[in-house]
Amino acid sequence: MLVCGQRLGEETHDADGRHCHRPFEAICVHCRSGTAFGEPLREFTVCNIQREDPALAKQLRAWPNFRQPEFPERDRGDFTNYCPSCDPAYEDGFLHDEP
- 39-97 pLDDT, tens digit per residue, is 999 998 888 888 888 998 999 999 999 988 877 666 777 888 888 888 878 776 556 55
Determine the pLDDT at residue 36. Answer: 86
pTM comes to 0.73
- 9-35 pLDDT, tens digit per residue, is 555 555 566 778 888 888 888 889 998
Determine the pLDDT at residue 88. Answer: 79
Return the half-sphere exposure (C-beta side, CA atoms, 13 A cut-off) of residue 73: 0
Number of H helices, E strands in the chain: 1, 6
- Per the structure, the complete domain to which residue 67 belongs is given by 2-96
What residues does 40 pair with on adjacent strands?
Answer: 35
* Total number of domains constituting the chain: 1
